[in-house]
Structure 1
Amino acid sequence: MHNNFLVVSALGEDRPGIVNELSRIIAESGCNIEDSRMTVLGGEFAIILLAEGRWNKLAKLEAALPSLGRRLGLTVNSKRTTPARHEGNLLPYSVEVVAIDHPGIVHQLASFFSSREISIRDMATTTYAAAHTGTPMFSVHITVDVPAAVHIARLREEFMDFCDQLNLDAVIEPVKG
C-alpha cells in the first residue's frame, strides 16, 4: 500500500458506461479503487470512491478528472485524504430500521446516536411500497462505531425504547466479521 489517497465523487445523468469510463481512467493513471459506493437516485448516477496510489499517479488521476467530467456530463470533485484511522476502542454495530415512511426518521436516528457520542460510519436508506397494501415504507441500514466504554446492554435497551416510542421496527447487533 502506498498510503496516498484521493476521494472522488461524481454526479450526473444516469446512462450505461459511466463506471466503465471512470474505472478506466483510474486504472490508466496507475491507481487502484480501494473502496466505493455507487447508486442511481432518481435519474441521477452518484458515486463516491477512494483511489489509492503513489502521489504522482494520484496527481495524474486528478489532472484527468476534469476532462472526464466534461466528456461524461458529470460534476466531479476530488480531495486528497489520509488513511482511515482504526481506533481500537470502537466496536462496529449494525442498525436496521423499518417503519411506515414519514419525514424526520433519519434525523431522529442521527440525533439518538450523536447525543451519545456514537459516530455513524455508513448509512443507506430506501423507500418502497409495502406488499399487498402499498403503504409507503422506509428502510435504513446504519453502521455505527460504538466506543468500547459504552454499556452495550444499556445502549440496546435505550435504542429499542426510543424506536418503540417512534413506532420503528429495529435491530441493533454487532457487525459480523
Structure 2
Amino acid sequence: MSGFSNQQLVLTAIGDDRTGIVAQLTELVSECSCNIIDSRIAILGNEFSIIMLLSGDMSAISRIEHTIPVKSMEMGLLTMMKRTSNRTGSEFCAGYTLEYKGLDSVGALSKVAAFLAEDNIDICSLKSDTYEQDGQLYMCSMLEINVPVDSALDSFKLKFENLCTDFKLESILRRIR
C-alpha cells in the first residue's frame, strides 16, 4: 500500500459525560470512512474523555479533519487532532504490567515515572486511581511498560522493589509479551 492509502490520525475529545456520546463519535468516524485502530476512554470527575487512533485513505482522514470541529461543538466536546504514522519497530525485549498500591503519597507516580525513564523504559499505558478505605486514602496504579533489549532486568527489578519499599507500596511485575 502506498503512503496515501493508509493515513492515520489521533483524535482526542473531552466533554460532559453522558449516555450515547461513544455511539455519536463512532458513528461520525464511520460516516467519514475511517477505521478505529485503537482507543481509550476514561471518565475523570464528570468529564468524558476519549483518544482514538483512526486510519483511512487520504480522503477519509481529510473528511474527518474537516467534519470534527463543527460536529464536536454540536456535541459539546473539545477536540484535538494530529496526523501520525505507523509506529516503527523498536528494540524492546519484553512487555510487562507493573502494578503498585499503598497509602496515597504525593509524588509517588512522579517518582515511578522518573525511575522508569532513567532506565529507558517506555510507559505504554497508565491507569492511576485513588480510593478511600478505613478512613484513609489509598492509591493504585497499573502501567504497561516496554523493557529495552539491553536492560539489566534483574537489576531493574531490585531497584524497583527498593523504590516501593521507600514509599511503602506493594507491587507486582508481570510479563505480558
| Structure 2 unaligned spans of 5+ | none
TM-score normalised by the chain length of structure 1? 0.93
Q: Write out per-residue CA displacement over residues 49-99 of structure 1, whole angstroms, 9 at most, x where no aligned residue.
A: 101111111111111101111101100110100111231434211100101
Equivalent residue for 2:66, pick from 63, 67, 83: 63
> d(CA) in 2 for partners of 1:175 and 1:89?
13
Report the equivalent of 2:170.
169
* Aligned-partner SS, 1:86: coil
Q: Does 1:36 align with 2:39?
A: yes
* Overall identity of the aligned pairs, in %: 29
Two-structure CA RMSD over aligned residues (Å): 1.4
Which residue does the alignment assign to 2:25?
A: 22
Unaligned runs of 5+ in 1: none
Look up the equivalent residue of 1:151 and give its one-letter code: A
Letter in 2 for 1:135: Q
1:120-145 CA deviation, whole Å, 9 max, x = no partner?
11101111122xx1321101001111
Counterparts of 2:156 and 2:9, CA distance in 1: 35
Is the 8 Å Cα contact of residues 34 and 51 (structure 1) preserved in structure 2? Answer: yes
Q: Would you say how many aligned residue pairs link Structure 1 and Structure 2?
A: 174
**2:101 aligned partner:** 98
Which of residues 47, 52, 55 in structure 2 aligns to 1:49? 52
The yes-or-no answer on 1:10 pairing with 2:10 is: no
Q: Which amino acid aligns with 2:164?
A: C
**What is the TM-score normalised by the length of structure 2?**
0.93
- SS of the aligned residue for 2:128 comes to strand
| Structure 1 letter corresponding to 2:76 | G
Aligned residues of 2:105 and 2:167 also touching (Cα < 8 A): no
The answer on whether the counterparts of 2:8 and 2:56 sit within 8 Å (CA) in structure 1 is yes
Q: Which amino acid aligns with 1:164?
A: T
- Counterpart of 2:130 in structure 1 is 127
Look up the equivalent residue of 1:134 and give its one-letter code: G
Partner of 1:143 in structure 2? 144
Distance in 1 (CA, whole Å) between partners of 2:130 and 2:18 is 22
- Equivalent residue, structure 2, for 1:73: 76
| Runs of 4+ displaced beyond 2 Å | none
